Amino acid sequence: MPEKSIYKVLIILIIFSSAIRLFLAWSLELGNDEVYYWTYALYPDLSHFDHPPMVGFVIQLFTLDLFFHSELSLRLASIVLGSINCWLVFLIGRQIKNSLTGLYAAFLYSFSIYGFIITGIFILPDTPQMFFWFLSLLFILKTFSVKTINKESRIFMILSGVFTGFALLSKYTSIFLLIGLFFYILFFDRKWLKSYELYIIILITLTLFIPVVIWNFGNNFISMTF
């Protein structure tokens, strides 16, 4: 398939998916979990009982600090970020092999329950997590596509650390990004163990996560014991 046709199909897919998700987000009542996460935006804090604070910040951003509070406005982040995620999945597939692979990946993601409904319609911690997860993964792939450690690959590595930190502020399971990166380097690309950028991204990730640690320290680490 010609490159131009691939991009045309991708744009149609994103528009079609967004339109359906927009309608469903407008017509469906909020679920129990969504109402609970609405309180994250209503009472913002450094962290919360069972999740870090990012989902609340995202709701505040897309509702203009709860100026708009309809079902659609509360879920608007999922519609917008879900559409961007489809594009990011395409870029990841293209980075791994080619544009056609990226298009197949975008279709698979768009028609999955997780991509279309859970993170694409409902407003949950998974919404910002997947956005930052895909960004981090894309820059990790870009890092290792450069065969030598140079200025470009160093920038990619640092950006992956920044987005991993934001993913951690969305959901604790994002730590697997950092663990996966470390083990990949350990077994397949050990030259990065001698690069200071690897330790910079660990520092960046942990620094971004400090507010959650501070909150848990003041609340008997309730999130961890939970």
Nearest to 112 by CA among 138, 91, 130: 130
Q: CB burial class (10 A; 0-12, 13-18, 19+) of residue 122?
A: buried
pLDDT for the residue numbered 148: 83
Q: How many structural domains compose the chain? A: 1
- pLDDT at position 11 over 80: yes
The angle formed by the CA atoms of residues 101, 107 and 112, to the nearest 5 degrees, is 125
The predicted-structure confidence for 46-77, as pLDDT tens digits, reads as follows 999 889 999 999 999 999 999 998 999 999 99
Half-sphere exposure of 111 (CA within 13 A, CB side): 7
Say if residue 220 is exposed, middle or buried (CB neighbours under 10 Å; 0-12, 13-18, 19+): exposed
- The mean per-residue pLDDT over the stretch 163-187 comes to 93
Computed over every residue of the chain, the mean pLDDT equals 93
Q: CA 41, CA 53: separation in Å to the nearest integer?
A: 9
Q: What is the predicted pLDDT for the residue at 21?
A: 97
Determine the structural domain holding residue 99 and report its residue range: 3-225
Q: What is the pLDDT of residues 110-152, one digit of tens each?
A: 999 999 999 999 999 999 999 999 999 999 999 998 878 888 8
The predicted model scores a pTM of: 0.94
Whether 219 shows a pLDDT value over 70: the answer reads yes
